[in-house]
Amino acid sequence: MKEHVKIVLAATFAVSLATAATAQKKYGPGVTDTEIKIGGIMPYSGPASAYGVIGQTETAYFKKINDEGGINGRKINFISYDDGYSPPKTVEQARKLVESDNVLLIFNPLGTPPNTAIQKYMNAQKVPQLFVATGATKWDDPKNFPWTMGWQPSYQAEGTIYAHYILKNKPNAKIAILYQNDDYGKDYLKGFMDGLAGKIKPVITLAYEISDPTIDLQMTQLQASGADTFFNITTPKFAAMAIKKAAELKWKPLHFLNNVSASVGAVLKPAGFDNAQGVISTGYLKDPTDPQWKEDAGFKNWSAFVDKYMSGSDKTNANLVYGYTVAQGLVEVLKKCGDDLTRENVMKQAASLHDAKFEMLLPGIVVNTSSTDFAPIQQEQLQKFTGDRWTLFGEIYDASKKATN
C-alpha cells in the first residue's frame, strides 16, 4: 500500500513539474524553444540610405549574440527589409513581417514618416513597434499607442537645448532655419521655437523635401538673409550639402546641427572637416573618433565587435555605435522576458528598464522606462566639432527634469 502511495505521489509530482515547466513557457508568434524571430525595416536605399548601416550593425550584433549561444538558448532570426524611407513601402514591409513572416516584434524601424505610417497598424495588430529609430515625441504615448516605444532623445527636447544656448550666449542672434518638410523636421522646429519662447524671432525659415536633389537654392536664400546663426534640421545627405554650400557661400554663422546628422564618417567627413569647424550638436553616445575613449572598456568591446563582425566598416561612423547600442537594448529586454516570450511581456519588460547602462552611452546617461514613460533616453550633452572630432562641453541636459532658461 505504501509503495502504491509513493508511486502515485511520484507520478503526481512529475505531472505537476511538467505542468509547471509548460506553464512557465509562453510563446508569441515567431518564438520556439530554439528561435526568436524579429523584424526590422531600414532605408537601405533611397535618400536616407546613410542610415542603412544601422540595420547592418544590428544584424551583425545579433550574429554575435547567436555565436555566443543566443538568448536563454534561443537564436535570434532577424529579418530586416528595405523601405527606401518611403512610407507606403514601410506599410508593405510591416504587413509582410507581421502577416507572412510572423515576427514577434518589429525592432528599431527608422524614420518619423515611415513609423508614422505603420503606428496605427502595429497597435491595431498588437505587435510591438519597439525602440523606433526616431526622436519624435509621438512615440512616448503609452495611453493611446501602448505597442509603440521610442529609444533616442526627443527632437523637441534637443531643439529646446539649442534655443536655450542661443538665448544665454547670443541673445541678439539673427536666426536662419532649414528643416525637412515632414513630421521629423517639424518636431525639431517646434522644440526650438518653444525654447526661444518668443524672445527671438527667426529672420528666415525655409523647408526642403526629402525628394529634392539639392538644397543650394535654400542655402543661398538663408545666407542672403543676413542671418548670423543657423539651425540645420536635415538628414545626413542634406546636412553634408548644407555644410559644404555654406562654405562655398563664405557664410560662417553659429551653426547648430541636429544630432541625427552628427556622424563624423557619414556627414562631416564628406562635407569637409575644414567646413565643419565650430558646428554645435548634441551627443548621448560615445563618439568613436574621440581619443578619450581609447582605453574605455566599452569602446574596446565595440571596436572588437566591428573588427570581427563588420570588418572593413568605417569606425568614424557614429551610426555603428547607435546600431550596437540599441541592439544591446533589445537583447536586455529579451533576456528579461525569460521563457515568457509573448508580445505582451516584451512590452511589459521594455517598459520596466531602470537605470539600464549600455557601454557606448556617455557616462552618466542611463535608460529608464515605465508603464507611463515610453521615452527610454532623455539625457544628452552639447558638443562642438573641433579638428576632426566632437568635443563635449557643458552639463548633461535631462529632459525628464524640466530645464529652465
C-alpha cell at 202: 527667426
> Closest Cα partner for 84 from 119, 117, 42?
42
* CATH 3.90.580.10 at 35-153+293-374, yes or no: no
Q: In whole angstroms, what is the distance from residue 235 CA to residue 201 CA?
A: 24
Q: In sequence order, which residues have a C-beta less than 8 Å from that of residue 395 and are 6 or more positions away?
A: 381
C-alpha cell at 298: 566599452
Q: In whole angstroms, what is the distance from residue 15 CA to residue 259 CA?
A: 56
pLDDT tens readout for residues 77-133: 999 999 999 999 999 999 999 999 999 999 999 999 999 999 999 999 999 999 999
H helices of 174-235, in order, are 183-196, 216-224
- Name the DSSP class of 268: I
Mean pLDDT of 223-239: 98
> Closest Cα partner for 108 from 56, 47, 69?
56
CB contact at 8 A, 105 and 346: yes
Average pLDDT, the chain: 94
Q: In whole angstroms, what is the distance from residue 94 CA to residue 106 CA?
A: 8
Number of Cβ within a 10 Å radius of residue 398: 15
For residue 17, what pLDDT is reported? 45
pLDDT tens readout for residues 139-171: 999 999 999 999 999 999 999 999 999 999 999
Q: What are the backbone dihedrals phi and psi of residue 252, each rounded to the nearest 5 degrees, phi first?
A: -125, 70
Range list for CATH 3.40.50.2300 in the chain? 35-153+293-374, 155-283+382-398
Q: In whole angstroms, what is the distance from residue 151 CA to residue 145 CA?
A: 15
* CATH 3.40.50.2300 at 155-283+382-398, yes or no: yes
pLDDT at residue 20 above 60? no
pLDDT at residue 404 above 60? no
pTM of the model: 0.89
Q: In whole angstroms, what is the distance from residue 231 CA to residue 193 CA?
A: 11
Helix (H) or strand (E) holding 328: helix 318-337
For residue 24, what pLDDT is reported? 79
- What share of the chain has pLDDT > 70, as a percent? 93
CB contact at 8 A, 392 and 155: no
pLDDT tens readout for residues 37-47: 999 999 999 99
Alpha-carbon 329 to chain mean position: 11
CB contact at 8 A, 371 and 142: yes
* Cα Rg, the chain, nearest whole Å: 23
Helix (H) or strand (E) holding 58: helix 52-67
Least confident window among 18-27, 78-87, 123-132, 332-341: 18-27
For residue 19, what pLDDT is reported? 43
Q: What are the backbone dihedrals phi and psi of residue 354, each rounded to the nearest 5 degrees, phi first?
A: -125, 110
